[in-house]
A and B are shown apart, each in its own frame.
Chain A
Amino acid sequence: MYAAIVVLTAMGLSLGFVLGLAARLFRVEADPVAEKIEALMPGSQCGQCGYPGCKPAAEALARGEASVTLCPPGGRALAEELAQLLGVQADLSGVKDAVPMLARVDEDLCIGCLKCLRACPTDAVIGAAKQIHCVLPEACSGCGKCVDVCPTECMQMLPIEPTVRTWRWPKPVLAAA
């Protein structure tokens, strides 16, 4: 039994080492701008921009083929950051000032069909067949994919509720001068 463990471990380690060397040796220089853009993106690969994932979207942005307002989950904040990075003037009028939204399950309507569970790119939905599902707010990226697949419209995008940890005093409203 020990021989099996040792052999498999040794094979895994040595193959990993060889692959690591090969990765160094055959490194392809990616576009540094595209890499920076990709680091800013939400990274949930939701595909709402029309590109297959965040990386292709970042590459299209770097080539100048896409608008900085392409990312709905990123909202206005991301659009501004991208415009600053790329040095372009962004037309932010069309962008909803998206409050960060999270998915939530309406427990009265959920039939436990598992469709949202499969659609979720961040595995934020938990539940089992014919059991009411629930969304983990820490894992939800707010991409809205689950809303599209939900057959009973029980999945809703709602603004994040303030918790004890995140609640802040509202900013003082200036009296009209």
Chain B
Amino acid sequence: MTTVTEYLLLLLGTALVNNVVLAKFLGLCPFMGVSNKLDTALGMGLATTFVLTLAAVASWLVERLLLQPLDIGFLRILAFILIIAAVVQFTEMVMRKTSPVLYQMLGIYLPLITTNCAVLGVALLNVQEQNGFIHSLFYGLGSALGFTLVMVIFAGLRERLALSAVPAMFAGAPIAFIVAGLLSLAFMGFAGLPTH
């Protein structure tokens, strides 16, 4: 199998089959919190994509260049959190300069990407599965794209839900959780895709 198809399958596998939100249940806070409007969900997804990919690569570099040679793997979580926080801060500065509207819309959720467990989860999974550099990059990018896809789908569903006649006892958060469950079930269908 050529490398190109291998990486395409890796992207597909991480985005759809092993989706961070619906299969690994990581990053549920922004998934429920920022999915009320399609625009903000897309913005959040793209910001997270940037942070997740950059953090996956940067934490791989730190793992291989610092933690492994010096045999200080016990510092892994601390070091990764430090990197993620710095990357998020950087993204915030860039976004404030380039897109003030999106900065206003995302509000408090932008700094909260730091505590999005999907970002740390992917960085740690990369170490656990002993992925190479390019592999880590695509693993991060695929997971982030999967996150964005799910955010957009869910926000679209919730926009329609807001207009439909939901029974009073299910209105609001309960129906959102039910829809999230159904979406997760639907994504289980991707488990049959060939990933190798």
Let me know if B72 and A19 touch, CB within 8 A.
no
How far is A116 from B66 in the complex, measured between Cα atoms in Å?
47
Residues of A within 8 A of B (CB): 3-4, 7-8, 11-12, 15, 18-19, 22-23, 26-28
| B75 partner residues in chain A, CB cutoff 8 A | 4, 7-8
How far is A4 from B75 in the complex, measured between Cα atoms in Å?
7
Interface residue range, chain B: 20 to 34
* Chain B 60-90: CB-based contact to A (< 8 A → 1; otherwise 0): 0010001100111011001100110010011
Interface SS, A side: helix
Tell me whether A15 and B86 are in contact in the complex, defined as CB-CB below 8 angstroms, given that A26-B93, A28-B96 are known contacts.
yes
B47 to chain A, nearest CB (A): 15
| A11 partner residues in chain B, CB cutoff 8 A | 62, 66, 79, 82-83
Other 4 A-B pairs with CB < 8 A, given A11-B82, A19-B90, A28-B100: A4-B72, A7-B72, A15-B83, A22-B94
A28 to chain B, nearest CB (A): 5
| B196 partner residues in chain A, CB cutoff 8 A | none
| A28 partner residues in chain B, CB cutoff 8 A | 96-97, 100
Let me know if B90 and A22 touch, CB within 8 A.
yes
| A22 partner residues in chain B, CB cutoff 8 A | 90, 93-94
Let me know if A19 and B96 touch, CB within 8 A.
no
| B74 partner residues in chain A, CB cutoff 8 A | 4
| A3 partner residues in chain B, CB cutoff 8 A | 70-72
| A15 partner residues in chain B, CB cutoff 8 A | 82-83, 86
Determine the residue in chain A with the shortest Cβ distance to B97: A26
| B71 partner residues in chain A, CB cutoff 8 A | 3
A-B contact pairs, 17 of them (CB 8 A): A3-B70, A4-B70, A4-B74, A7-B75, A11-B62, A11-B82, A11-B83, A15-B86, A19-B86, A19-B89, A19-B93, A22-B90, A22-B93, A26-B94, A26-B96, A26-B97, A28-B96
Tell me whether A18 and B66 are in contact in the complex, defined as CB-CB below 8 angstroms, given that A4-B75, A28-B96 are known contacts.
no
How far is A15 from B58 in the complex, measured between Cα atoms in Å?
12
A146 to chain B, nearest CB (A): 25
A113 to chain B, nearest CB (A): 28
